Structure 1
Amino acid sequence: MYVVLVNYTAPLQEIDYSLADHAEWLAKHYEHGNFLASGMRDRRVGGVIIAKPMARGKLDAILATDPFSIQHLASYEVIEFAATRTAHELNMLNEAVSL
Protein backbone atom coordinates (compact mmCIF):
# COMPACT_ATOMS: atom_id res chain seq x y z
CA MET A 1 0.00 0.00 0.00
CA TYR A 2 1.07 3.59 -0.33
CA VAL A 3 1.08 6.89 1.46
CA VAL A 4 1.18 9.73 -1.04
CA LEU A 5 2.27 13.15 0.20
CA VAL A 6 0.91 15.84 -2.09
CA ASN A 7 3.02 19.00 -1.93
CA TYR A 8 1.59 22.20 -3.39
CA THR A 9 3.96 23.96 -5.78
CA ALA A 10 1.64 26.84 -6.69
CA PRO A 11 -0.06 29.66 -4.75
CA LEU A 12 -3.18 28.68 -2.78
CA GLN A 13 -5.34 30.81 -5.06
CA GLU A 14 -4.46 28.50 -7.97
CA ILE A 15 -4.97 25.42 -5.77
CA ASP A 16 -8.40 26.67 -4.69
CA TYR A 17 -9.40 27.25 -8.31
CA SER A 18 -8.71 23.57 -9.13
CA LEU A 19 -9.94 22.07 -5.85
CA ALA A 20 -13.37 21.00 -7.18
CA ASP A 21 -11.75 19.12 -10.09
CA HIS A 22 -9.29 17.48 -7.69
CA ALA A 23 -12.17 16.43 -5.39
CA GLU A 24 -13.98 14.90 -8.37
CA TRP A 25 -10.81 13.02 -9.30
CA LEU A 26 -10.52 11.70 -5.73
CA ALA A 27 -14.16 10.57 -5.74
CA LYS A 28 -13.59 8.64 -8.98
CA HIS A 29 -10.68 6.75 -7.45
CA TYR A 30 -12.59 5.98 -4.27
CA GLU A 31 -15.33 4.51 -6.50
CA HIS A 32 -12.75 2.42 -8.35
CA GLY A 33 -11.40 1.16 -5.01
CA ASN A 34 -7.94 2.70 -5.40
CA PHE A 35 -7.95 5.05 -2.39
CA LEU A 36 -8.64 4.36 1.29
CA ALA A 37 -8.32 7.82 2.85
CA SER A 38 -7.31 11.34 1.94
CA GLY A 39 -7.24 14.83 3.37
CA MET A 40 -5.49 18.17 3.60
CA ARG A 41 -2.28 18.60 5.53
CA ASP A 42 -2.01 21.16 8.31
CA ARG A 43 -1.15 24.71 7.19
CA ARG A 44 -2.44 23.88 3.68
CA VAL A 45 0.91 22.81 2.29
CA GLY A 46 -0.67 19.88 0.45
CA GLY A 47 -2.53 16.69 1.17
CA VAL A 48 -2.20 13.00 1.95
CA ILE A 49 -3.66 10.05 0.08
CA ILE A 50 -3.57 6.47 1.34
CA ALA A 51 -3.79 4.12 -1.64
CA LYS A 52 -4.52 0.40 -1.69
CA PRO A 53 -1.82 -2.06 -2.73
CA MET A 54 -1.33 -2.01 -6.51
CA ALA A 55 1.49 -1.99 -9.01
CA ARG A 56 3.57 1.15 -8.59
CA GLY A 57 3.18 1.96 -12.28
CA LYS A 58 -0.60 1.95 -11.91
CA LEU A 59 -0.40 4.38 -8.99
CA ASP A 60 1.95 6.65 -10.94
CA ALA A 61 -0.50 6.63 -13.87
CA ILE A 62 -3.39 7.51 -11.53
CA LEU A 63 -1.46 10.38 -9.96
CA ALA A 64 -0.57 11.72 -13.41
CA THR A 65 -4.32 12.22 -14.07
CA ASP A 66 -4.83 14.40 -10.96
CA PRO A 67 -5.81 17.91 -12.07
CA PHE A 68 -3.14 19.22 -9.68
CA SER A 69 -0.55 17.21 -11.60
CA ILE A 70 -1.87 18.10 -15.05
CA GLN A 71 -1.80 21.81 -14.17
CA HIS A 72 1.61 21.56 -12.46
CA LEU A 73 0.19 22.68 -9.11
CA ALA A 74 1.64 19.90 -6.95
CA SER A 75 4.38 17.31 -6.66
CA TYR A 76 3.99 13.86 -5.13
CA GLU A 77 6.13 11.88 -2.71
CA VAL A 78 5.11 8.21 -2.75
CA ILE A 79 5.96 6.01 0.22
CA GLU A 80 5.37 2.30 -0.30
CA PHE A 81 4.94 0.00 2.68
CA ALA A 82 3.62 -3.45 3.50
CA ALA A 83 0.99 -3.32 6.23
CA THR A 84 1.82 -6.00 8.79
CA ARG A 85 -0.32 -4.73 11.64
CA THR A 86 -3.75 -3.17 11.23
CA ALA A 87 -6.96 -2.43 13.08
CA HIS A 88 -9.60 -5.14 12.60
CA GLU A 89 -11.43 -2.87 10.16
CA LEU A 90 -8.39 -2.96 7.86
CA ASN A 91 -7.43 -6.64 8.11
CA MET A 92 -8.23 -7.16 4.42
CA LEU A 93 -5.25 -4.84 3.67
CA ASN A 94 -2.86 -6.48 6.10
CA GLU A 95 -0.38 -8.26 3.86
CA ALA A 96 0.88 -10.45 6.71
CA VAL A 97 -2.66 -11.69 7.50
CA SER A 98 -3.67 -12.15 3.85
CA LEU A 99 -0.75 -14.49 3.03
Structure 2
Amino acid sequence: MFILSLTYVKPQEDADRLMAPHMAWVNAGYDSGMFLASGRKVPRTGGVILARGDRVEIEAYAATDPFATEGVAEYAISEVAVTRTAQGLENLRN
Protein backbone atom coordinates (compact mmCIF):
# COMPACT_ATOMS: atom_id res chain seq x y z
CA MET A 1 0.00 0.00 0.00
CA PHE A 2 1.09 3.57 -0.61
CA ILE A 3 0.47 6.78 1.29
CA LEU A 4 0.33 9.82 -0.97
CA SER A 5 0.76 12.96 1.11
CA LEU A 6 0.19 16.16 -0.77
CA THR A 7 1.14 19.53 0.66
CA TYR A 8 -0.03 22.87 -0.70
CA VAL A 9 2.85 25.06 -1.85
CA LYS A 10 0.60 27.88 -3.04
CA PRO A 11 -2.23 29.74 -1.29
CA GLN A 12 -5.37 27.80 -0.43
CA GLU A 13 -7.32 29.98 -2.87
CA ASP A 14 -5.33 28.39 -5.71
CA ALA A 15 -6.30 24.93 -4.43
CA ASP A 16 -9.95 26.02 -4.18
CA ARG A 17 -9.86 27.16 -7.81
CA LEU A 18 -8.69 23.69 -8.90
CA MET A 19 -10.84 21.63 -6.51
CA ALA A 20 -13.38 20.47 -9.13
CA PRO A 21 -10.77 19.10 -11.58
CA HIS A 22 -8.78 17.66 -8.66
CA MET A 23 -11.87 15.82 -7.38
CA ALA A 24 -12.57 14.49 -10.89
CA TRP A 25 -8.98 13.16 -10.86
CA VAL A 26 -9.54 11.63 -7.38
CA ASN A 27 -12.78 9.99 -8.53
CA ALA A 28 -11.00 8.49 -11.53
CA GLY A 29 -8.40 7.04 -9.14
CA TYR A 30 -11.20 5.32 -7.22
CA ASP A 31 -12.87 4.15 -10.43
CA SER A 32 -9.62 2.50 -11.53
CA GLY A 33 -9.29 0.65 -8.21
CA MET A 34 -6.04 2.45 -7.35
CA PHE A 35 -7.39 4.61 -4.50
CA LEU A 36 -8.63 3.12 -1.23
CA ALA A 37 -9.26 6.20 0.94
CA SER A 38 -8.60 9.93 0.83
CA GLY A 39 -9.22 13.18 2.65
CA ARG A 40 -8.00 16.61 3.68
CA LYS A 41 -5.31 17.20 6.26
CA VAL A 42 -6.42 19.03 9.41
CA PRO A 43 -5.53 21.84 9.45
CA ARG A 44 -6.08 22.13 5.69
CA THR A 45 -2.52 22.14 4.39
CA GLY A 46 -3.07 19.45 1.76
CA GLY A 47 -4.42 15.92 1.71
CA VAL A 48 -3.69 12.21 2.01
CA ILE A 49 -4.58 9.33 -0.31
CA LEU A 50 -4.19 5.62 0.42
CA ALA A 51 -3.48 3.72 -2.78
CA ARG A 52 -2.54 0.29 -4.02
CA GLY A 53 -0.78 -0.88 -7.14
CA ASP A 54 2.54 -0.44 -8.87
CA ARG A 55 4.70 2.41 -7.54
CA VAL A 56 5.69 3.62 -11.02
CA GLU A 57 2.03 3.77 -12.08
CA ILE A 58 1.01 5.56 -8.86
CA GLU A 59 3.80 8.12 -9.26
CA ALA A 60 2.84 8.68 -12.89
CA TYR A 61 -0.82 9.11 -11.96
CA ALA A 62 0.02 11.53 -9.11
CA ALA A 63 1.93 13.66 -11.61
CA THR A 64 -1.32 14.16 -13.57
CA ASP A 65 -3.26 15.61 -10.61
CA PRO A 66 -4.30 19.18 -11.50
CA PHE A 67 -2.85 20.29 -8.17
CA ALA A 68 0.52 18.90 -9.29
CA THR A 69 0.38 20.06 -12.92
CA GLU A 70 -0.51 23.60 -11.82
CA GLY A 71 2.18 23.64 -9.10
CA VAL A 72 -0.33 24.06 -6.26
CA ALA A 73 0.77 20.97 -4.31
CA GLU A 74 3.72 18.63 -4.06
CA TYR A 75 3.49 14.88 -3.44
CA ALA A 76 5.47 12.67 -1.07
CA ILE A 77 4.80 8.98 -1.70
CA SER A 78 5.64 6.32 0.90
CA GLU A 79 5.23 2.58 0.56
CA VAL A 80 3.92 0.69 3.60
CA ALA A 81 4.05 -3.06 4.10
CA VAL A 82 0.80 -3.52 6.01
CA THR A 83 1.08 -6.59 8.25
CA ARG A 84 -1.77 -6.02 10.72
CA THR A 85 -5.20 -4.42 10.38
CA ALA A 86 -8.45 -4.02 12.26
CA GLN A 87 -11.15 -6.58 11.55
CA GLY A 88 -12.72 -5.94 8.17
CA LEU A 89 -9.60 -4.38 6.66
CA GLU A 90 -7.67 -7.61 5.99
CA ASN A 91 -7.54 -6.89 2.25
CA LEU A 92 -5.08 -4.06 2.97
CA ARG A 93 -2.41 -6.47 4.19
CA ASN A 94 0.53 -7.36 1.99
TM interval, shorter chain, is: over 0.9
Q: Could you tell me how far apart the structure 1 residues matched to 2:92 and 2:39 are?
A: 20
CA RMSD in angstroms, aligned pairs only:
0.9
Shift of 1:56: 1.1
* Greater C-alpha Rg: 1
Q: Which residue in 1 is equivalent to 2:9?
A: 9
Q: Which residue in 2 is equivalent to 1:94?
A: 93
Q: Could you tell me how far apart the structure 2 residues matched to 1:89 and 1:31 are?
A: 21
Matches within 5 A, 1:1-99: 1-52=1-52, 54-95=53-94
Query: By percentage of residues, which structure has more helix?
Result: 1
Provide runs of 4+ in structure 1 moved above 3 Å.
none
Give unpaired runs (5+ residues) of structure 2.
none
Shift of 1:89: 2.0
Q: Report SS of the residue matched to 1:79.
A: strand
Q: Could you tell me how far apart the structure 1 residues matched to 2:73 and 2:48 are?
A: 12
Q: Could you tell me how far apart the structure 2 residues matched to 1:92 and 1:39 are?
A: 20
Amino acid at match of 1:65: T
With the length of structure 1 as denominator, give the TM-score of the two structures.
0.90
Amino acid at match of 1:29: G
Give unpaired runs (5+ residues) of structure 1.
none
Q: Report SS of the residue matched to 1:65.
A: coil
